[in-house]
Structure 1
Amino acid sequence: MTKHRIFSISVASVYPHYIAKAEKKGRTKAEVDDIFRWLTGYSQQQLEGELAQGTNFEDFFAQAPQLNPARSLITGVVCGIRVENIEEPLMRELRYLDKLIDELARGKKMEKILRG
Structure 2
Amino acid sequence: CDTSSFWLSDELKNEKSKIQELNNVGRKTKNKLIIKLTKELNLKFKEKLKKFKQEKFNQKVANSNNPAKTAWGLIHNEIGNKTRNFNNVNEIIVNGQCYTNPE
TM-score (norm 1): 0.26
* Higher RCO (C-alpha 8 Å, min separation 6): 1
TM-score (norm 2): 0.29
